[in-house]
A and B are shown apart, each in its own frame.
Chain A
Amino acid sequence: MSASRMEERVSQRTISFTLNGQPMRLEINPHETLLHVLRERAAAAEVKSGCERGDCGACAVLVDGRGVNSCLTLAVQVDGKAVTTVRGLGTPDAPHPLQAAFLEQGAAQCGFCIPGMLVTLQAFLSERPAPTRAEIREAIAGNLCRCTGYHKILDAAETAARQMRAVQA
């Protein structure tokens, strides 16, 4: 066995976390990113791999409710934490208000950026339930969409924010 193989075996470890509420237990190497582990080992291909350097937001997930880029998070760092992907926001039968608004308003074109967009907006709206349109634009400045020009995304986010406030009230 080569030295590098030996090293990998030595540093391999087990992490436990919840993925969309389901308990997970995985053997991982510490250099594996959360993005890689979610897609390749946890069947969470809804988390998209874009730039892999924190510029595009396609890989955004919630870690204990906070929106982060999973490409710049190590899997080992979510040991003991709750990870939520877009799949954890809602289901086809019971969509999250953001998902419903995106569907109704045709806010997705190719769809690649949408999982990260929805997760980011969920995190942002939980902190700031009544944002201005300018604040929403600022919140998704790190989520690149190369199709839509963002207008329908902003429309849908505003609609969803209103509906989420109405549910809260």
Chain B
Amino acid sequence: MLPHVDYVRAEGVAHALALLDRHGAGARLLAGGTDLLVDLRERRSAPALLVDISELDELAAIRAEDGALHIGAGVTVAALREDATVQAEFPALAEAARWFADYLTRNKATLGGNLANASPGADFLVPLLALDAAVTIAAAAGDRTVPLDQFLLGPRQTALGRGELLREVVLPRSAPAGQAYEKLGLKHGGAIAVVSCAVVMDVRAGRGARVRIVLGAAAPRPFRARAAEERLEGQPLSAERAEQAAALAAGAAQPISDVRGSAEYRRAMVQALVRRGIDAAQAAAVRS
């Protein structure tokens, strides 16, 4: 049984914002519920009111506008996985959706929920940071858009203030064609990442360009391994250089030891995954 909590089905974003404003810290947004209801059951969260935003069409759309793809925070992982534009232009994101949890969970879990929870291993933060995503935050005073990197303050901490709601993710449609997402889980389906990485890059005249290498579950929050990126940016690509970049990424990781793996194991796996990711992204960039 869940602890007692009150419930309102929001009629729109404005209604949800008004409820958040009125109830303050006692209110939590309910989207897919696949994390929140588990937290309630295990008494990690004890809100007085759940504001259900799972039925809001205005949060569940994917639309192209002004050279960017706008993905509503309420888009389910299942819908994200099936979206043709996401598959064609943002394969690293599509791949993260493909390996996210399991079929039943994907039918409920939302992109916005994954970002707003900001778990150190959150699947979508990793490709979205590599794709230079921004997020739009809705508040009674109006919307504001911030780079995802600034949205993410730390483990389970975001820039979302009291009375605010994550409205959408904004992805520039000029993303490099070379994209890869690699996730190591303890099993194939339904697994939480031991470590993950996204590699995004172009290849111009045999040299790396617009290189992004992001690591997940390798530090308190997903982060760009900039030294690894610099080893490839503007440099002639080779197996040796890819290996050096992977080693630099492993060096930048600050992993912890927990039930899913030791710090030492995680660091070794970061190196292996980044190496694999560079090879895959480079191959995709060259093919395009």
Interface residues of A in 15-46 (CB under 8 A from B): 29-33, 36
Residues B4 and A31 in contact, CB atoms below 8 Å apart: yes
A113 at the interface (CB under 8 A from B): no
Residues A142 and B189 in contact, CB atoms below 8 Å apart: yes
Residues A72 and B6 in contact, CB atoms below 8 Å apart: no
Give the distance in Å from the alpha carbon of A69 to the alpha carbon of B190 in the complex.
Answer: 14
A130 at the interface (CB under 8 A from B): no
Residues B4 and A4 in contact, CB atoms below 8 Å apart: yes
Residues B33 and A72 in contact, CB atoms below 8 Å apart: yes
Give the distance in Å from the alpha carbon of A54 to the alpha carbon of B108 in the complex.
Answer: 11
A66 at the interface (CB under 8 A from B): yes
Pick from A8, A52, A54, A140: contact of B105, CB under 8 Å? A54
Residues A31 and B189 in contact, CB atoms below 8 Å apart: no
A97 at the interface (CB under 8 A from B): no
Residues A54 and B34 in contact, CB atoms below 8 Å apart: yes
Interface residues of A in 61-110 (CB under 8 A from B): 66-69, 71-74, 76-77, 79
Residues B2 and A33 in contact, CB atoms below 8 Å apart: yes
Residues B104 and A120 in contact, CB atoms below 8 Å apart: yes
Residues A36 and B1 in contact, CB atoms below 8 Å apart: yes
A132 at the interface (CB under 8 A from B): no
Give the distance in Å from the alpha carbon of A33 to the alpha carbon of B1 in the complex.
Answer: 7
Give the distance in Å from the alpha carbon of A120 to the alpha carbon of B40 in the complex.
Answer: 25
Interface residues on A, range: 35 or more
Give the distance in Å from the alpha carbon of A118 to the alpha carbon of B52 in the complex.
Answer: 29
B residues in contact with A141, CB < 8 Å? 102-103, 188-190
Interface residues on B, range: 20 to 34
A residues in contact with B101, CB < 8 Å? 142
Asked, given contacts A141-B190, A142-B190, whether A69 binds B108 with beta carbons under 8 Å apart, the answer is yes
B157 at the interface (CB under 8 A from A): no
B192 to chain A, nearest CB (A): 11
Pick from A30, A36, A79, A124: contact of B6, CB under 8 Å? A30
Q: Which residue of A lies closest to B36 (CB)?
A: A72
A residues in contact with B265, CB < 8 Å? none
Residues B2 and A68 in contact, CB atoms below 8 Å apart: no
B residues in contact with A54, CB < 8 Å? 34, 37-38, 104-105
B206 at the interface (CB under 8 A from A): no
Asked, given contacts A8-B4, A11-B7, A73-B33, whether A30 binds B105 with beta carbons under 8 Å apart, the answer is no
B residues in contact with A55, CB < 8 Å? 190
Q: Which residue of A lies closest to B189 (CB)?
A: A141
A139 at the interface (CB under 8 A from B): yes
A169 to chain B, nearest CB (A): 24
Residues A53 and B7 in contact, CB atoms below 8 Å apart: no
A125 to chain B, nearest CB (A): 12
B residues in contact with A52, CB < 8 Å? 41
Give the distance in Å from the alpha carbon of A33 to the alpha carbon of B189 in the complex.
Answer: 25
B residues in contact with A60, CB < 8 Å? 104
Q: Which residue of A lies closest to B102 (CB)?
A: A142
B3 at the interface (CB under 8 A from A): yes
Residues B37 and A72 in contact, CB atoms below 8 Å apart: yes
Give the distance in Å from the alpha carbon of A54 to the alpha carbon of B5 in the complex.
Answer: 20
A57 at the interface (CB under 8 A from B): yes
Residues A138 and B54 in contact, CB atoms below 8 Å apart: no
Give the distance in Å from the alpha carbon of A142 to the alpha carbon of B104 in the complex.
Answer: 7
B residues in contact with A124, CB < 8 Å? 103
Cross-chain pairs A/B with CB under 8 angstroms, 8 sampled:
A31-B2, A31-B5, A33-B37, A52-B41, A66-B107, A68-B104, A120-B104, A138-B189
Q: What residues of chain A have their CB less than 8 Å away from a CB belonging to chain B? A: 4, 7-8, 11, 29-33, 36, 52-55, 57, 60, 66-69, 71-74, 76-77, 79, 120, 123-124, 137-143
Q: What residues of chain B have their CB less than 8 Å away from a CB belonging to chain A? A: 1-7, 9, 30, 32-34, 37-38, 40-42, 50, 52, 54, 101-105, 107-108, 188-190
13 extra interface residue pairs, beta carbon distance < 8 Å, beyond A7-B6, A54-B105, A141-B189: A31-B3, A53-B42, A54-B37, A54-B38, A67-B107, A68-B108, A76-B9, A79-B9, A123-B103, A141-B190, A142-B103, A142-B104, A142-B190
